[in-house]
Structure 1
Amino acid sequence: MSAGAMLVALGLEAVFGWPEAVYRRIGHPVTWIGAAITGLEARMNRPGPLRTAAGGVVTVVVTALVAAAAWVLAQLLPAGWLGMVLSGVLAAPFVAARSLHDHVAAVARRLAENDLVQARQEVAKIVGRETDALDVQGVSRAALESLAENASDGVVAPLFWGVLFGLPGIAGYKAINT
């Protein structure tokens, strides 16, 4: 996938994100991947000596299926600038810049309003730690740490794998990362 397609993906995702109306109607590709993982895990995650191997099989199967589906879609795209734009459109759901911005901006807004209680509630949506005792600096630090970590997982890495291996790369990365 070209850098141009990745710029299209990043631009579309930054401007539109994944609209709530679309999410309500069809969900999101990453939630589809998560549902596949959950379904396979429910069938294969059994106590015993093969538990780790089963987890590896689930990882490989889901990643291969997602990457293969993305490869098929990529093969159906026309050549030239239209194919590049469509490739970017298909890649956009696998980039999470808008969601990341919106969550961190909500924390910043609450802090700017001097509403520490609400800021704690907002930051709790993006961190995996207890937030009730955080002071202003703690909330800020937690939001920035989450921004740094999730920028890597949600923006930089997907774009990297998309440029390197095209639509199968970005989709496969999200499957592994989910």
Structure 2
Amino acid sequence: MVLSDSLLILSLALAAEAAVGYPNRLYTVIGHPVTWIGRLIKALDRGLNQEAWSFGQRRAAGIMALLVLLTVTGLAAWALTALLQPLDLIGIPVLAIIASSLIAQRSLHEHVAAVSQGLRDGGIEGGRQAVSMIVGRNPQSLDEAGVSRAAIESLAENFSDGIVAPAFWLGLGGLTGAVLYKVTNTADSMIGHRTPRLEAFGWAAARFDDVVNLPASRLSALLIIAAASLNRGTSRPGAWRAVRRDASHHRSPNAGWPEAAMAGALGLRLAGPRVYGDVRVEDRWMGNGRAEATAGDIDLALALYRTACGLLFGLASSLALLAWIILR
């Protein structure tokens, strides 16, 4: 697949997903690619992650599991792309529609907006219920400011992981690139945890996910910074300063970039100490603004997010046109 085709597919996929998302009726009938991937990951975890094995054996099994995941799904995506060759007025739209299922612009917006609405309609309990759908931390440990910060942090991090990263690999490697990324990210979210059962087995998935998210996390921060210069009530200089000062201090090598950009743009402090289950995680603050976030800050973050998504679409479309002019 030539670069101009993959960039065109990316542009169409971004537009299609923003317009209609992934229809609930379709999900009810056939599920979602992430759920299909999840079933395979669970099967490999059950079959290869044996508690009787040593730490080294379980780490080797985890590497094997990741290779199996990437091989099986990568070959399936490559075969589907080959089946639709030559790419034309049928093949390109079909691949774009399939690829749109790997991008989560609309669903992320809906889930984060639900937190703002939950706080307004149901108070702190409404906000806790809504935010529990998108974050892993203990919602009962969160006050209104904590709920609001958690929603904004999830928006920033998932803008990188759920939108910019699959878009980046889709534009660079077509449907196969996007599928391989999505498999890696899903594996990290399911088995890349430092628990007694998963620390060894999920090591490869977690480390590989860190690597493949490096370019997207930096691009996400730049898009948020650019969006802050276009949105009323947000600060481009604040976003830039927060990224330069705080991004590298996050416990994740990638999450700090979009979170710091979002924090600086909104004049907030994000991340910091958090509670997951009964475990308190000490983390550095991103941004040096106020910690008392509100539902209004969630709404402002969503406006910034929409602009950043628009900039991503504009960038993809411009690159598609440029590639078509140069390569055709």
Normalised by the length of structure 2, the TM-score is 0.52
More helix by share: 1
Alpha-carbon distance in structure 2 between the residues aligned to 1:76 and 1:82? 12
Q: Which runs of 4+ in 1 moved over 6 A?
A: none
Q: Which amino acid aligns with 1:157?
A: A
Task: Map 1:2-81 to 2 at 5 A.
Answer: 2-46=6-50, 47-48=53-54, 49-77=56-84, 78-81=86-89
Task: Indicate whether 1:112 and 2:120 are aligned.
Answer: yes
* Paired residue total: 178
Alpha-carbon distance in structure 1 between the residues aligned to 2:46 and 2:14? 34
Alpha-carbon distance in structure 1 between the residues aligned to 2:26 and 2:122? 34
Task: Indicate whether 1:174 and 2:182 are aligned.
Answer: yes
Task: Map 1:95-174 to 2 at 5 A.
Answer: 95-113=103-121, 115-174=123-182
SS in 1 for 2:17: helix
Q: Identity of aligned pairs, percent? A: 46
**Cα distance, 1:114 vs structure 2:** 6.2
**Cα distance, 1:3 vs structure 2:** 2.1
**Root-mean-square deviation over aligned CA pairs:** 1.5
Alpha-carbon distance in structure 1 between the residues aligned to 2:184 and 2:141? 34
**Residue deviations 1:48-80 (CA, integer Å, cap 9, x gap):** 241111111110111111111101111111423
Q: Which amino acid aligns with 1:58?
A: A
Normalised by the length of structure 1, the TM-score is 0.93
Larger radius of gyration: 2
Structure 1, gaps ≥5 residues long: none
Alpha-carbon distance in structure 1 between the residues aligned to 2:37 and 2:60? 20
Q: Which amino acid aligns with 2:158?
A: N
